[in-house]
């Protein structure tokens, strides 16, 4: 039986080097409902078209470090919200050392509304016989600058073939503002994308030398990463205390009742797996580790104590073996 006091530092290193962030899939899911009029974008804001204060209550997805792309476009963050009819998107970029890059063909937001990589655009991997692609998702829609396109199919899902379905006011329904150029907000009617209840997405900055992908592993194909947005409040696996973030507080719920039997399904007591037994052990630990850092952290994180880190290390090693 697992004894936390006998865990070794080498296992801590294992989770540090190849922990949950190294696992492919959605890095974070958010659900940020707003009321109509809470976020006014561009020409819809008669008072101040360039106002960004509407976004203050909306959490950001995990930040992307600056300096990992060419100077034209270097995405650093994104915020998304929704009301009954629209999606609101706020893209942030590092200041450009090149001439201003006005919102256009270099800005690519790929959206997978059926959350199925076997449909939609996966990117041209350069091999006509292969069907691997390089995007981590199968994009059904592409928001390129102020225009929205739907995937028009193509060989192996790799042909860059799109049909425009909406565009900016006054000819279409998309509202936008890109002043300053490193701070871009858009409104996309949900109906234009079939009113999805959830979608996966990645961002690409089409630069002349080194393209930018956000998240960084969005171009790693089937093993890559992406983000998820949901219009439905979702329960977050591993979030045992209900604060919307999987971290040290949830880990301590498991550690605090390690090897104990609690009421089955009691999240506050650490029963993350809820297998009906109420026993707190490695299965519960792996649920927390498998979703580590998922959600939105509203307060600065707490550094795990050594004993917690050691157990985290062994659980991570077990998780990696299970997924191998």
The tens place of each residue's pLDDT in the chain, 324 residues long, gives: 333 333 223 323 333 333 333 445 888 889 999 999 999 999 899 999 999 999 999 999 999 988 888 888 999 999 999 999 999 999 999 987 677 788 999 999 999 999 999 999 999 988 877 779 999 999 999 999 999 999 998 778 999 999 999 999 999 999 999 988 899 999 999 999 999 999 999 999 999 889 999 999 999 999 999 999 999 876 788 888 777 789 898 999 999 999 999 988 888 889 998 788 999 999 999 999 988 988 766 534 344 443 444 444 444 444 444 333
Pair (219, 164) in one structural domain: yes
Give domain status of residue 12, yes or no: no
Q: What is the dihedral of CA 95, 99, 100, 105, to 10 degrees?
A: -110
- Kindly state whether residue 242 falls inside one of the protein's structural domains: yes
Cα 259 to the chain's mean position, in Å?
A: 34
Please, what is the end-to-end C-alpha distance for the chain in angstroms? 23
Is residue 291 in some structural domain?
A: yes
Same domain, 198 and 222: yes
Answer with the one of 195, 213, 230 that is the final residue of a domain: 230
**Whether residues 294 and 209 fall in one domain:** no
In a domain, 6, yes or no: no
Peptide bond into 293 cis (omega under 30): no
| Dihedral angle of Cα 72, 78, 82, 86, to the nearest 10 degrees | 0
Residue 19 resides in a domain = no
Q: Which of 230, 249, 280 is the last residue of a domain?
A: 230
Q: What angle (nearest 5°) sits at the alpha carbon of residue 84, between those of residues 80 and 87?
A: 25
Residue 149 makes CB contacts below 8 A (sequence gap 6+) with 141, 142, 143, 162, 163, 164, 165
Question: How many distinct structural domains can be found in the chain?
Answer: 2
Evaluate whether 31 touches 229 at the Cβ level (below 8 Å).
Answer: yes
**Domain annotation covers residue 91:** yes
| Residues 157, 250 within the same domain | no
Domain-ending residue, one of 230, 253, 272: 230
Helix (H) or strand (E) holding 310: helix 306-323
Domain that holds residue 308: 236-323
Its pTM stands at: 0.71
Domain presence at residue 15: no
């Amino acid at each position: 039986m697992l004894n936390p006091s006998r865990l070794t530092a080498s296992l801590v290193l294992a989770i540090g080097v190849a922990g949950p962030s190294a696992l492919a899939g959605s890095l974070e899911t958010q659900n940020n409902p707003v009321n109509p009029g809470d976020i006014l974008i561009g020409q819809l804001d008669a008072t101040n078209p360039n106002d960004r204060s509407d976004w203050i209550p909306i959490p950001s997805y995990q930040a992307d470090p600056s300096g990992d792309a060419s100077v034209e476009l270097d995405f650093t963050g994104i915020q998304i919200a929704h009301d009954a009819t629209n999606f609101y998107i706020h893209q942030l970029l590092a200041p450009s050392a090149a001439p201003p890059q006005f919102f256009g063909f270099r800005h690519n937001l790929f959206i997978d509304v059926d959350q199925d990589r076997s449909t939609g655009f996966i990117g041209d991997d350069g091999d006509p016989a292969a069907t691997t692609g390089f995007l981590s998702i199968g994009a059904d829609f592409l928001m390129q600058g102020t225009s929205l396109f739907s995937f028009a199919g193509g060989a192996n899902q790799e042909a860059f073939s799109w049909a425009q379905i909406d565009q900016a006011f006054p000819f279409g329904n998309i509202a936008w503002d890109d002043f300053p150029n490193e701070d871009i907000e858009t409104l996309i009617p949900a109906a234009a994308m079939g009113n999805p209840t959830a979608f996966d997405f990645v961002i690409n900055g089409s630069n002349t030398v080194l393209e930018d992908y956000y998240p960084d592993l969005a171009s790693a194909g089937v093993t890559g990463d992406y983000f998820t947005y949901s219009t439905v409040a979702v329960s977050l696996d591993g979030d045992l205390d209900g604060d919307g973030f999987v971290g040290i507080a949830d880990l301590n719920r498991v550690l605090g009742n390690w090897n104990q039997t609690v009421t089955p399904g009691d999240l506050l007591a650490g029963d993350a797996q809820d297998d009906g037994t109420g026993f707190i052990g490695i299965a519960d630990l792996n649920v927390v580790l498998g979703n580590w850092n998922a959600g939105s952290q509203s307060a600065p994180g707490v550094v795990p104590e050594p004993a917690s880190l050691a157990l985290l290390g062994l659980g991570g090693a077990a998780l990696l073996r299970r997924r191998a």
